[in-house]
Amino acid sequence: MSAPAAGSRAPAVAVGYDGSESSQLAVRWAAEHAAARGMPLRVVHAWVWPMFTKDLGPVQGVAGSGLRHSAETILAEGLGLARGVDPGLDVDGVMEAGLPAQVLRLAAKDAALLVVGSRGMGGVLGHLAGSVCLDLAASAPGPLMVVRRPQLPGKPIAVGIDAAPESSAVVAQAAALAAAVGGGLHLIHVDPDGNRAPAHGRHTPLRGAELLDYAVEEARRLNPDLAVTGALAEGRSAARELVEAAEDADVLVLGTHRRDGGIGNTVSAVLHKAACNVMITR
């Protein structure tokens, strides 16, 4: 990856951290990814307590107490985890008052990638866990990585493709991710009607096979050194087919194409059911 121009700063990888095991995993993943791509890392902690109380300072006579101190300690812990992955990594921290999704959106507005743990917000506000990921999947300003497990070196990056014009951008981002992590790229298209239909005594490929072939060629053109494979799945549930096809993948990449700001049933189901890490692109 080429170095940024003099006087400029490379886009950062932003990661949410709240002290939970899920966010610890996210910080380690984000630090490894930032180091591999030569990017700075921004560790973000959403400080929710100012929304509920004004009593944020230390308890009189008790050193190291108070909600503010607790939040600062959590952020410092996240920074320490990141630096432990790579001492030479350029890391900074952000602590802002607000709900997690809101804070992370603002902190990631100029980031190349936003990374969160699959369980979202932990601790006292644990009931918001799933909603944070779903909210960010629909509203993050750029690509979102939902981390469930550590990186699996050598495993492919799987990507779901469809007929939407934005699929080309999804393939490009998935190819860049595969190149960065050193894995192959596995493209999956789910055809609910089957990929073949008889015509004049022969089997004629339908649009699903053509879409897949075009996407594979495009990925190879973008990165000739990348190992690219494709699979055409038949099934009424795109989410189920994608989850099964990506069981052995490092990351499953999906695009959001809805203009109303939603994420659709497929993305929502994949976020709930996929065993691997999931990247939502725009």
C-alpha gyration radius of the chain: 21
Largest CA-CA distance found in the chain, in angstroms, rounded: 88
Give the pLDDT confidence score for residue 246 in this predicted structure: 84
Token couple for 201: 């005594």
What is the phi/psi pair of residue 109, to 5°? -65, -25
Give the pLDDT confidence score for residue 22 in this predicted structure: 92
Give the pLDDT confidence score for residue 142 in this predicted structure: 93
Distance (Å, whole) CA 224 – CA 245: 24
SS3 letters across the chain:
CCCCCCCCCCCCEEEECCCCHHHHHHHHHHHHHHHHHCCCEEEEEEECHHHCCCCCCCCCCCCCCCHHHHHHHHHHHHHHHHHHHCCCCCEEEEEEECCHHHHHHHHCCCCCEEEEECCCCCHHHHHHHHHHHHHHHHHCCCCEEEECCCCCCCCCEEEEECCCCCHHHHHHHHHHHHHHHCCCEEEEEEECCCCEEEECCEEEECHHHHHHHHHHHHHHHHCCCCCEEEEEEECCCHHHHHHHHCCCCCEEEEECCCCCCCCHHHHHHHHHHCCCEEEEEC
Give the pLDDT confidence score for residue 57 in this predicted structure: 53
Give the pLDDT confidence score for residue 141 in this predicted structure: 92
Question: What are the angstrom distances between the C-alpha of 198 and each of 213, 231, 260?
Answer: 20, 21, 38
Give the pLDDT confidence score for residue 205 in this predicted structure: 42
Render each residue's pLDDT in the chain as its tens digit; 282 residues. 334 444 456 789 999 999 999 999 999 999 999 999 999 999 999 986 544 444 445 544 434 444 677 888 999 999 999 999 999 999 999 999 888 999 999 999 999 999 999 874 334 333 444 578 888 998 999 999 999 999 998 899 999 998 887 888 999 999 999 998 888 999 999 987 665 444 444 444 447 888 899 999 999 999 999 999 999 988 778 899 899 988 889 999 999 865 555 578 889 889 888 989 999 997
Q: Is 159 exposed, middle or buried (0-12, 13-18, 19+ CB in 10 A)?
A: buried
Distance (Å, whole) CA 232 – CA 220: 18
Q: Residue 29: name the closest of 18, 11, 16 by CA.
A: 16
User: How many residues in total does the chain contain?
Assistant: 282
Give the pLDDT confidence score for residue 199 in this predicted structure: 44
Which residue's structure tokens are 């008790």? 62
Q: Which residues of 101-118 are buried (b: 16+ CB within 10 A; e: fewer)?
A: bbbbbebbeebbbbbbbb
